[in-house]
């Protein structure tokens, strides 16, 4: 598993697994727990979740998956969770984090993110993150859905340079961040976490992806993921419950796209020619 250095020390695996829509249906709880365990057995160590997903239900799925699972030591896992912007004030962050810890059944969250910008001044959220870090409840903190001006504003706050990641929408059909967000994060040494790297499956019928997939004997979505994984300073967190999907996503790490593949994909999904509004899902 390839890794990227975290600015505060430690390593971030380049491939993780997402959990949006997990925890929504009681009938799916066991298959979802099984999927996360299967992913961990197959070497996945990075799990992304959020208090928002199924109102804490996804965190409960993660908690159940890691509880009593002997395959992985807690210290080898990187658990990412996110606080909602309307909980971004000091007391709100404290309470949200305690609730997430309880649902996850763990003493600490490795990476705690502000899910997107809200109305609370950044400094107040930052102070709360620093307090959680000093008390050991989180190891690192970061942000999500931040555009360039948000990153600049956050970084100018005292303590704001301790930014471990910016999690943003990034895949072949959403390349706007290549213009400014990605280069800026790279310059700061902040890894970017690409969410919805498969565009939630919608990329599967793209002819250019099928063409490249055929050359490599893989699926179009594996190519879409391989393309994200080929980007510098980028981590991808595809969500998958189907075990075959998990397997394919892990195998996508071994797909080496060549110049001809990149040229074809760049023609079908052109890189940005200027700044654009940050896209979100």
**Can you give the binding site for ligand NAP, defined by CB under 6 A?**
18-20, 48, 115, 144-145, 167, 195-201, 219, 221-222, 237-242, 245, 248-249, 281
The sheet with strand 109-114 has its strands ordered as 46-48, 78-83, 109-114, 138-144, 166-169, 192-195, 234-236
DSSP 158: T
Helix (H) or strand (E) holding 204: none
Of all residues in the shown chain, the one whose CB is closest to ligand NAP is: 18
Nearer to ligand NAP, 133 or 245 (CB): 245
Shortest distance in whole angstroms from residue 168 CB to ligand NAP: 8
Q: What are phi and psi of 194, to 5 degrees?
A: -85, 115
Handedness of CA 272, 237, 139, 93 (dihedral sign): positive
Which residue matches tokens 């996360």? 36
Rounded distance, CA 44 to CA 76, Å? 10
Q: What is the nearest approach in angstroms of ligand NAP to the Cβ of residue 158?
A: 25
CA 97 to each of CA 13, 20, 117, 167, 230: distance values in angstroms, whole numbers, following the listed order = 23, 18, 17, 18, 33
Smaller CB separation from ligand NAP, 133 or 174: 174
- Cβ proximity to ligand NAP, 18 vs 92, nearer residue: 18
Q: Which residue, 115 or 137, is less far from ligand NAP as judged by CB? A: 115
In whole angstroms, what is the distance from residue 65 CA to residue 57 CA?
A: 12
Q: Where are the alpha helices (DSSP H) in 196-258?
A: 207-216, 220-229, 243-251
Q: Annotated catalytic, 112? A: no
If the CB atoms of residues 164 and 221 are measured against ligand NAP, the closer one turns out to be 221
| Shortest distance, position 52 Cβ to ligand NAP, whole Å | 8
Query: Shortest approach of ligand NAP to residue 134 CB, angstroms?
Result: 25
Which CB, 124 or 247, lies closer to ligand NAP? Answer: 247
Considering 38, 53, 108, 170, which one is annotated as catalytic?
Answer: 53
- How far apart are CB 163 and ligand NAP at their closest, in Å? 15
Closest among 186, 45, 39 to 178, alpha carbons compared: 186
The answer to whether 182 and 165 are in contact (CB under 8 A) is no
Q: Taking the complex as a whole, how short is the minimal distance between the CB of residue 225 and ligand NAP, in angstroms? A: 7
- Tokens found for residue 91: 């007391």
Catalytic residue annotation: 53
């Amino acid at each position: 598993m390839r890794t990227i250095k975290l600015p505060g020390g430690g390593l971030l695996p380049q491939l993780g697994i997402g959990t949006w829509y997990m925890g929504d249906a009681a009938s799916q709880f066991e298959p979802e727990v099984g999927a996360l365990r299967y992913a961990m057995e197959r070497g996945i160590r990075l799990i992304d979740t959020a208090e928002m997903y199924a109102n804490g239900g996804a965190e409960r799925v993660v908690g159940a998956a890691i509880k009593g699972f002997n395959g992985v030591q807690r210290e080898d896992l990187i658990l990412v969770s996110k606080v909602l912007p309307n909980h971004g004030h000091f007391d709100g962050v404290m309470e949200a984090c305690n609730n997430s810890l309880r649902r996850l059944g763990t003493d600490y969250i490795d990476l705690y993110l502000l899910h997107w910008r809200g109305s609370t001044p950044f400094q107040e959220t930052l102070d709360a993150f620093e307090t959680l870090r000093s008390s050991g409840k989180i190891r690192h903190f970061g942000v999500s859905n931040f555009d360039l001006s948000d990153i600049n504003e956050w970084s100018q706050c005292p303590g704001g340079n301790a930014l471990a990641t910016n999690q943003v929408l990034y895949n072949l059909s959403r390349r706007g961040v290549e213009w400014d967000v990605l280069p800026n994060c790279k310059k700061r040494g902040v890894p970017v976490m690409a969410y919805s790297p498969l565009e939630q499956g919608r990329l599967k019928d793209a002819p250019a992806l099928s063409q490249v997939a055929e050359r490599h004997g893989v699926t179009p979505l594996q190519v879409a993921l391989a393309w994200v994984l080929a980007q510098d300073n980028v981590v991808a967190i595809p969500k998958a419950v189907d075990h075959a999907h998990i397997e394919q996503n892990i195998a996508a790490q071994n797909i080496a796209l060549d110049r001809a593949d990149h040229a074809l994909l760049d023609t079908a999904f052109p890189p940005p020619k200027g700044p654009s509004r940050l896209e979100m899902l």
